[in-house]
Amino acid sequence: MEKLPRVNLSEIIADKIHQDILEGKLKPGDRLPPHEVLCERWGVSRVTLREALKTLDTKGLIEIHQGRGTFVRNYNRDLIESQFEFHSLLGEKTILQLFEARKIIETALVELATRRITKSEIASLDSILKDMVETVKEGDPLQFARFDFNFHNSIGGMAKNDVLLMMLEKIQFLIETQQREMFEYAHEPNPLESSFHDHKEICRMIRERNAPGAARKMYEHIQHMENRVQSYYKDKHAIAEAESEAMV
């Protein structure tokens, strides 16, 4: 008999809210109903709802403000829709190809950014690094992934090349949704701290106006991330093989 698929309620709720956004039932700037209302509506726990909202937050569809509520972000409808559809079809080969693309695009962007960045823009990168420090201390991979995205996206904007930035955003969005899982499955003792060190070194090279050095550090950082993904798939294959042998 075939195994029954696992039902993940948080994913179902995230998909439902995502669909409401795409259909225009929820518009940019709209505030979602209070958590207790949504929990009662769908008959789920607060833990399940929070996990669904975290998923949507990571994917850039909503903003969660403590004490104020949850709001729909401004977004590009066509881009969000196509990326979600494509993401569901991604496999191991495509994910690794995306890392190859990032190495090409982001090393070029950081090199341009290092040559063109202003003092105020350097200060904004330093601010993101400070936020990262706090999430490393808290051990929060989801929040760290958000700051990671902001860091790379900010560098892309500071390169002042709209075409390269657009290419980066399409690739980043596809990978961002898996970053939390990559940190959780990483073999390093503290993957968040390791990743933060990479970001700090990239920022140091930018601050020193060392364009080749910044490009090299960016390449190494993306390679570290790719290594985590490869380890993840290696473990996944090993588990699947063990389960297959156990069923024989």
Q: Which amino acid is at 223?
A: Q
Tokens for 27?
């518009």
pLDDT band for position 238 (50/70/90)? confident
Instruction: Please provide the CATH number assigned to the domain covering 90-247.
Output: 1.20.120.530
Burial label, 100 (beta-carbon count in 10 A; 0-12, 13-18, 19+): exposed
pLDDT of 29 above 70: yes
Q: How far apart are CA 206 and CA 122, in angstroms?
A: 8
For residue 57, pLDDT over 90 is answered with no
Quick count: other Cβ atoms within 10 Å of Cβ 120?
7
> Both tokens of residue 179?
């970053």
pLDDT at 240: 67
Backbone angles phi, psi at 74, to 5 degrees: -75, 140
Over residues 107-165, the pLDDT tens digits come to 999 999 999 999 999 999 999 999 999 889 888 777 788 788 889 989 999 999 999 98
pLDDT at residue 180 tops 60: no
Q: CATH 1.10.10.10 spans which residues of the chain?
A: 9-77
Q: What is the pLDDT of residues 66-103, one digit of tens each?
A: 788 999 987 655 555 554 544 444 567 777 888 899 99
Q: List every span in the chain annotated with CATH 1.20.120.530.
A: 90-247
Q: Which residues pair with 31 in a beta bridge?
A: 71
- 3-class DSSP state for residue 72? strand
On whether the CB atoms of residues 29 and 72 are closer than 8 A, the answer is yes
pLDDT reading at 17 higher than 50: yes
Answer yes or no: CATH 3.40.50.300 is held by domain 9-77: no
**Alpha-carbon gap, residue 51 to 9, rounded angstroms:** 9
